[in-house]
């Protein structure tokens, strides 16, 4: 089980990591005076005078060679946050199995990546994870988390993790503008217009070759496109956005 000290430090570490780029940008822009720069150096030295705090993480990997402790980015995060990271990367193909084994072992890391699965819900109800609900408001960035998404990831009205935000427009439908021009049609802006375009692309020979060889739409096996299309009808995508 994650103790409260780990919880508070993890939240602090998360915020510091988010601020890293902004702090570097301010420094590069020359917005700090020598005096403020010296103060920053002093604070950093004071922080690093303490022993690094060890944080263990289990997450998935989509690449055969995930980052290692020798990575410059890994080392920079450790130096800036005064932490010692122990990250276990699990191939995404068998991550759910490894997640369940980790839960069953009772030896949980400080942080673990999970979806809202039945295994996770049962573990929460058994007291394996800390309730973060009352702590989020204490942090500037975490207090701005989307209330709708927080509600969707909540269990019995409480939040037990931080969601991974995705922009709503990260995927889109690609359409053949040349076919629209050939048929004298405009880019559709409603679901009815989109249907009319798909029908015309299928039946009205948009490529002009006189053959019945076109289709209205092609959707990949990956479910992402359906996430987009269902939002057109007021249905949230699987992230709850």
Which of 18, 20, 21 is closest to 141 using CA atoms? 18
Range of lowest pLDDT (31-40, 67-76, 104-113, 115-124): 31-40
Residue 23: predicted pLDDT: 35
Query: CA-CA distance, 153 to 237, in Å (whole number)?
Result: 13
Report whether pLDDT(6) > 60. no
Range of lowest pLDDT (20-24, 55-59, 149-153): 20-24
Query: CA-CA distance, 33 to 25, in Å (whole number)?
Result: 14
**pLDDT above 90: percentage of residues in the chain:** 54
Residue 176: predicted pLDDT: 94
Q: Between 102 and 227, where is the model more confident?
A: 102
pLDDT tens per residue, range 106-134: 899 999 999 888 999 999 999 999 999 99
Average pLDDT over residues 70-90: 95
Query: Which class for 89: exposed (0-12), middle (13-18), buried (19 or more C-beta within 10 A)?
Result: middle
Range of lowest pLDDT (76-80, 137-141, 144-148, 166-170): 166-170
């Amino acid at each position: 089980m994650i103790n409260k000290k780990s919880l508070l430090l993890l939240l602090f570490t998360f915020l510091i990591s988010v601020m890293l780029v902004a702090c570097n940008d301010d420094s590069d822009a020359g917005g700090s005076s020598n005096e403020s720069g010296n103060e920053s150096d002093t604070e950093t030295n004071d922080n690093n005078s303490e022993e690094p705090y060890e944080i263990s993480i289990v997450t998935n990997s989509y690449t055969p060679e995930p980052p290692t402790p020798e990575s410059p980015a890994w080392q920079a995060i450790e130096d800036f946050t005064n932490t010692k990271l122990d990250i276990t990367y699990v191939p995404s193909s068998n991550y759910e199995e490894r997640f369940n084994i980790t839960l069953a072992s009772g030896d949980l890391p400080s942080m673990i990546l999970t979806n809202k699965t039945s295994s996770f819900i049962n573990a929460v109800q058994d007291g394996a994870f800390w309730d973060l609900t009352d702590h989020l408001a204490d942090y500037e960035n975490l207090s701005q988390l989307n209330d709708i998404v927080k509600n969707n990831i909540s269990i019995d009205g409480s939040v037990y993790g931080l969601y991974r935000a995705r922009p709503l427009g990260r995927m889109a439908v690609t359409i053949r503008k040349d076919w629209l021009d050939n048929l004298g049609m405009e880019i559709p802006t409603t679901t009815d217009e989109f249907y009319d375009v798909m029908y015309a692309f299928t039946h009205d020979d948009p490529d002009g070759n006189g053959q019945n060889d076109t289709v209205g739409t092609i959707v990949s096996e990956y479910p992402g496109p359906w996430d987009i299309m269902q939002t057109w009808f007021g249905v949230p995508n699987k992230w709850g956005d």
